[in-house]
């Protein structure tokens, strides 16, 4: 049989991939797109403050700038925070390059895929083609950028750049851009999300100014904040061959025993010796001399060894019972309230803590049919 003409092979950029598959990140329809965009940005702002132990002051403006169709508005989202800002040399990439960011480390943060707000900016650009405007207060200067994304190349295009003196010593970030969304159907969901955020972050001021100019304010009721999360070493139950290979490359000159105790969380000298013994490897072997086969065996041994302690929860930043109680009281003023923090657990070497609050009465809206469902 005659073959048909050649298939066309080509490479696309990460920005192009997410442009084609925007639904992966929640941009599947005009309601969800607007909701997801607001959510990504509020979470970025909260993270920017909390990572530095700053009490968050976040202001979110939503404006309707036009009508794209009967169901789609051109909505401007503007959000300001008082986090630490971003070093100016990183601003273009941090906002205009997919897969570039500060969240690719082993540290707890919000957000799902580490794409941050970039999917929101990308979606805004492909639906309205306006540039993203960014103002950053960082140390002695205030920087202003207008940026678009070259989607085919996955590169930021800087249209404007200005700087001036930061005479008021303001630190923070202001982001403003437009996207197509269904404002009226998304708004109740956005409001609910912000209310829940205020509930779990009672130390934050979050202000929403809606498209009618109404100001809705969720005020902080405490200046207590949870301890910021710490960056951590990988727990041996969560490793894979690729990770152990990377760590081994970075530690070629160490002995195996020092590699195991310094590169992994919760691996002590005694356990290391035991595991190495089982694998017939000497503790004094230099990591750079390991063959791939030995790295595979070492990975399997780390994953399957029963005796490790679970990951230390100090790398997490739980709200804690007191703050959770505070947040629920403040937002819901319930008649009955109980909160509970479980002990830290781990799944595949990743620690997590379940924190629960249960409340009844007060300002909690009763369910529509009058029956509380538990």
Q: List residues near a second copy by CB under 8 A.
A: 1, 3-4, 6-14, 16-17, 19-21, 24, 51-54, 68-69, 84, 86-87, 90, 93-94, 97, 99-102, 104-105, 113-114, 125-129, 151-152, 171, 228, 240-243, 245-246, 292, 295-296, 299-300, 303-304
Give the DSSP letter of residue 349. T
265, 234 contact by CB (below 8 A): yes
Q: How far is the CB of 241 from a second copy (least distance, A)?
A: 4
Q: List CB contacts of 93: < 8 A, sequence separation 6 or more.
A: 100, 156
**Residue 325 class from Cβ within 10 Å (0-12 exposed, 13-18 middle, 19+ buried)?**
middle
Nearer residue to a second copy within complex by CB, 90 or 189: 90
**CA dist., res. 327 & res. 58, Å (int):** 17
Nearer residue to a second copy within complex by CB, 86 or 359: 86
Nearer residue to a second copy within complex by CB, 42 or 151: 151
Q: How far is the CB of 66 from a second copy (least distance, A)?
A: 9
**CA dist., res. 238 & res. 251, Å (int):** 19
Nearer residue to a second copy within complex by CB, 281 or 337: 281
Nearer residue to a second copy within complex by CB, 9 or 212: 9
Q: How far is the CB of 33 from a second copy (least distance, A)?
A: 12
Q: How far is the CB of 45 from a second copy (least distance, A)?
A: 14
Q: How far apart are the first and last CA of the chain?
A: 64
Q: How far is the CB of 163 from a second copy (least distance, A)?
A: 19
Nearer residue to a second copy within complex by CB, 104 or 212: 104
Nearer residue to a second copy within complex by CB, 89 or 368: 89
41, 99 contact by CB (below 8 A): no
Classified as helix, coil or strand, 202 is: coil
Nearer residue to a second copy within complex by CB, 45 or 261: 45
Q: How far is the CB of 242 from a second copy (least distance, A)?
A: 4
Q: Identify any residues that bridge with 74 across adjacent strands, giving them in sequence order.
A: 66, 180
Phi, psi of 184 (to 5 degrees): -70, -30
Nearest to 86 by CA among 162, 138, 140: 138
Q: How far is the CB of 140 from a second copy (least distance, A)?
A: 13
160, 219 contact by CB (below 8 A): no
**CA dist., res. 297 & res. 71, Å (int):** 57
Which single residue is written with the structure tokens 């005659």?
A: 2
**CA dist., res. 177 & res. 77, Å (int):** 6
Q: How far is the CB of 164 from a second copy (least distance, A)?
A: 20
């Amino acid at each position: 049989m005659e073959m048909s003409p050649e298939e066309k092979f080509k490479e696309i950029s990460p920005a192009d991939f997410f442009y084609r598959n925007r639904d992966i990140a929640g941009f599947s329809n005009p309601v969800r797109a607007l909701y997801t965009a607001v959510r990504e940005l509020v979470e970025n702002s909260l993270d920017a403050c909390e990572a530095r132990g700053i009490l968050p002051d976040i202001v979110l403006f939503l404006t309707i700038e036009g009508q794209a169709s009967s169901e789609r508005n051109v909505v401007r989202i503007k959000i300001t925070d008082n986090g630490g800002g971003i070093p100016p040399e990183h601003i273009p990439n941090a906002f205009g390059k997919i897969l570039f960011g500060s969240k690719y480390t082993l540290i707890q943060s919000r957000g799902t895929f580490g794409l941050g707000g970039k999917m929101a900016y990308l979606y805004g650009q492909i639906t309205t083609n306006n540039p993203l405007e960014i103002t950053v207060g960082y140390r002695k200067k205030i920087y202003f950028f207008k940026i678009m994304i070259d989607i085919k190349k996955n590169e930021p295009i800087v249209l404007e750049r200005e700087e001036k003196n930061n005479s008021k010593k303001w630190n923070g970030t202001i982001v403003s851009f437009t996207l197509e969304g269904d404002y009226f159907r998304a708004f109740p969901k956005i409001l609910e999300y912000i209310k829940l955020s205020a509930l779990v972050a009672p130390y934050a001021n979050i202000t929403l100014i809606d498209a009618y100019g109404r100001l809705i304010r969720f005020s902080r009721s405490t200046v207590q904040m949870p301890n910021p999360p710490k960056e951590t070493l990988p727990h041996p139950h969560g490793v894979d061959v690729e990770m152990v290979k990377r760590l081994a490359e970075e530690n070629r000159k160490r002995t195996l025993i020092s590699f195991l105790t310094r590169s992994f969380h919760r691996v002590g000298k005694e356990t290391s010796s035991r595991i190495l013994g089982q694998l017939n490897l000497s503790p004094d072997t230099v990591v750079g001399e390991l063959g791939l086969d030995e790295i595979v065996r070492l990975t399997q041994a780390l994953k399957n060894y029963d005796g490790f302690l679970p990951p230390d929860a100090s790398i997490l930043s739980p709200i804690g019972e007191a703050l959770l109680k505070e947040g629920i009281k403040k937002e819901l003023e319930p008649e009955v309230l109980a909160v509970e923090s479980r002990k830290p657990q781990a799944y595949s070497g990743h620690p997590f803590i379940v924190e629960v609050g249960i409340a009844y009465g007060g300002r909690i809206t009763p369910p529509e049919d009058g029956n509380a469902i538990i």
